[in-house]
Structure 1
Amino acid sequence: MSANSLENRRLVLTGLLAVPVGLALTGAPARAAGPGTAPPNRFRGGQSGSNAALNCLMTRRSVRSFMDAPVSGELVRRVLAAGMQAPSAGNERPWQFVVVTDKARLASLAQVHAYVHFAAKAPLGIVVCADLSKARLKGYWPLDMSNCTMNILLAAHALGLGAVWTGIYPEEERISKVAEICATPEGIVPFALVVLGHPAQSPSPQGRFEAARIHDNKW
């Protein structure tokens, strides 16, 4: 391995270990930001260098309050492109997406369960769906869909948007309700509803690193 490669690896590992313990835990109140601008404490998409991706990972938080402003089609495309870049078993990529901007439909989605009521006031929801016809490796598609959904959340954060993953799968009642609202065909399983928009709040990053949960070689 070259000296440059070793140095690059050192920088990455240093960043990985330093970010969690260095995160502010001040509990500062959330502050609103205008469309297209990353509010305080949020990842700046223009960052470069070995720590940019790690900063995005370590500062992402769930956002449930949004500005009254639409999300551009270009931003939606970039978020979905990131979702489609996720790893999947056998590279099957068993995902489909329903992009919901219709206010009446968002209001219906907000009634699916008690933890998604804020969707009614959001500009956009992405229903991440599993296409079972593409999921030939039995039992792996929920893992694939989780990878895809996490990529969407990280991309939204990197682009200055706020987002939250609201659960649908594996609750059969929720799956059925969302399938009806979005008119999904047979074999398409609603997995998650990602509610997103320009954030009206900026939750402070939280350090969650716990050394006690790491076991060397055996438990």
Structure 2
Amino acid sequence: MNAIYLRSSVRQFSEEPVGIEGIEKLMRAAMAAPSAANQQPWEFYIARDETTRRALAASSPYAAPAKLAPCVIVACQRTEGLRAPQDAAYDMSAAVENILIEAAHLGLGAVWLAVAPEKDRMAAVSVALGSPKGLEPFALVAVGHPEHKPDPKGPTRYDETRVHWI
């Protein structure tokens, strides 16, 4: 469970690329997430070229780390063929969180950059990806080797006043 406590939002990255093997491990972790009715609504785009990363960074006023990271994972949600479409955002959130935890485990830095449900951001990301049919952008995850050692949150966020025993 230490990877959970190592996770931190990293927004500055070195120029060192993220290897294919590391990216595949992140994708395996994402797809190991729980999913309502096992619908697995996810599709992922891996943006490593500068032009796409810059377009993704411009999709939101908060997405600047996408320009700085050597890799941006774009988590998209399928819009068709889902058994529990009302729960797809939960599935997507679990997948993104798994990416963040696995990145920490691998010694990588990552940050979740929100896209959905903001329609303008979703449209801009969709254009940057070439407007894939049947998919809605959900989130960006900027990934890379941290420029500085992250400050892990650790168990220090634990607040016993928020735990209610019945």
- Superposition TM-score, scaled by structure 2 size: 0.94
Number of the residue aligned with 1:179: 126
The residue type paired with residue 209 of structure 1 is: Y
* 99, 109, 112: which one aligns with 2:46: 99
Q: What displacement does 1:120 show?
A: 1.3
SS in 1 for 2:157: coil
State the distance in 2 between where 1:69 and 1:126 align.
16
Q: What displacement does 1:193 show?
A: 0.2
Q: What displacement does 1:59 show?
A: 2.0
Structure 1 segments of 4 or more deviating over 4 A? none
The residue type paired with residue 115 of structure 1 is: Y
* 150, 155, 159: which one aligns with 1:210: 159
* 59, 73, 89: which one aligns with 2:6: 59
Number of the residue aligned with 1:31: none
Moved more, 116-125 or 164-173: 116-125
2:131 equivalent to 1:193:
no
Asked whether the equivalents of residues 89 and 144 of structure 1 are also in contact (C-alpha less than 8 Å), the reply is yes
Q: What displacement does 1:172 show?
A: 0.6
2:66 equivalent to 1:119:
yes
State the distance in 2 between where 1:76 and 1:212 align.
38
State the distance in 1 between where 2:139 and 2:42 align.
11
More strand, by proportion: 2
Counting matched residue pairs gives 164
State the distance in 2 between where 1:136 and 1:180 align.
27
Q: What displacement does 1:138 show?
A: 3.1
* 63, 72, 80: which one aligns with 2:19: 72
SS in 2 for 1:139: helix
* 95, 99, 102: which one aligns with 1:148: 95
Q: What displacement does 1:200 show?
A: 0.8
Asked whether the equivalents of residues 93 and 134 of structure 1 are also in contact (C-alpha less than 8 Å), the reply is no
Q: What displacement does 1:93 show?
A: 0.7
Number of the residue aligned with 1:51: none
Q: What displacement does 1:132 show?
A: 1.9
Asked whether the equivalents of residues 69 and 144 of structure 2 are also in contact (C-alpha less than 8 Å), the reply is yes
Identity of aligned residues (%): 38
**In structure 2, do the counterparts of structure 1 residues 81 and 134 end up closer, same or farther at CA, with 3 Å as the change threshold?**
farther
Once the two structures are superposed, the pairs formed by residues 82-93 of structure 1 within 5 Å of their partners are: 82-93=29-40
Q: What displacement does 1:94 show?
A: 0.8
Task: For structure 1, list consecutive stretches of 5 or more residues without a partner in the other structure.
Answer: 1-53
SS in 2 for 1:133: coil
Alignment RMSD (CA, Å) = 1.1
Asked whether the equivalents of residues 129 and 191 of structure 1 are also in contact (C-alpha less than 8 Å), the reply is yes
- Highest CA radius of gyration, 1 or 2? 1
State the distance in 1 between where 2:72 and 2:85 align.
28
State the distance in 2 between where 1:145 and 1:78 align.
17
Task: For structure 2, list consecutive stretches of 5 or more residues without a partner in the other structure.
Answer: none
